[in-house]
Amino acid sequence: MATETLEKKAQESTLENNPTNKSVKKSNNQDKISACDVMKVNTSKVIKKMESQIPSYVQEYSDLYTEYLHTFDDLFGTCYISEKQFFDNLGFDQETLKTFDNYSKTLANFYSSQIDMSTNYLRAYIKMRISAIKSYDRYLHVMMDSYAKILSQYNSVTKK
């Protein structure tokens, strides 16, 4: 409720600052500016700007990380091409190579499951943090409503 009033005042303030509306401003005699309006409007402006940057920030980080992983994949691909003939000519025992292959597959599966667990943990952690923020936001709204009522009562007492 208090937020809606501030937003309405901010919109009215925007209309008042429009050069075509100068006559309306003078006729309404609203030359006063509220510190709360200034802080609300400017804070909202900065927050909305930050929110607008999130998609590009996430995409750029994703692109960076993808390139990082691609570099490692290329490194192992290049080593494969360079070293295949060398290792093939060493004549390793096939049983040893099969054992090494099984070990390598086991490690790859282990790392894959660790990545999945880490991803699931992060997902749950983010959900928990979002839930905590939403709970805190609800609490703040209740407190701000109470604060607004107290200020209203104070203003009504001091006007008498």
Each residue's pLDDT tens digit, 64-121: 999 999 998 888 888 788 788 888 888 889 999 999 999 999 999 999 999 999 999 9
pTM here is 0.57
Q: Position of tokens 């009033």?
A: 5
For the chain, what's the residue count? 160
Please report, for the chain, the start and end positions of each structural domain, with discontinuous segments joined by +. 35-91, 93-160
Quote the CA–CA distance of 20 and 31 in Å, as a whole number: 16
Structure confidence by residue, pLDDT tens digits, 20-36 = 444 444 445 467 888 88
Quote the CA–CA distance of 5 and 8 in Å, as a whole number: 5
Quote the CA–CA distance of 97 and 159 in Å, as a whole number: 91
Are 40 and 6 spatial neighbours (Cβ–Cβ below 8 Å)?
Answer: yes
- Output the furthest CA–CA distance in the chain (Å, rounded): 101
Q: H or E segment at 126?
A: helix 94-159
CA atoms within 13 A of residue 158's CA, in its CB half-sphere: 6
**Banded pLDDT at 13 (limits 50, 70, 90):** very low
Q: Decide if pLDDT at 141 tops 90.
A: yes
